Amino acid sequence: MEKAPANVKRIAILGAESTGKTTLAKALALRYHTSWVPEYAREYMSTHPGDYDAEDIVKMTQVQLEQERALLPKAERFLFSDTELITAKVWCEDVFGNCPSWLEENMLKHRYDLYLLTANDLPWVPDPVRMNPQRRDYFFNWYKRELEHYGMRYEVIRGRYEQRLLNAIKAVEGAFA
Measured N-to-C along each axis, helices 85-96 and 136-149 cross at an angle, to the nearest 10 degrees, of 120
Average pLDDT of adjacent 10-residue blocks, the chain of 177 residues:
72 95 97 96 81 91 96 96 96 94 92 97 80 89 97 96 96 95
Instruction: State residue 76 phi and psi, 5-degree precision.
Output: -115, 110
Which domains, ranges and CATH numbers included, belong to the chain? 9-175 (3.40.50.300)
How high is the pLDDT of residue 2? 54
At 47-74, the pLDDT tens digits run: 877 778 999 999 999 999 999 999 999 9
3-state secondary structure 29-57: HHHCCCEEECCHHHHHHHHCCCCCCHHHH
- Please give the sequence-ordered ranges of beta strands (E in DSSP) within 38-151, or none if there are none: 78-81, 114-118
The pLDDT of residue 1 is 47
Cα of first residue to Cα of last residue in the chain, in angstroms, is 23
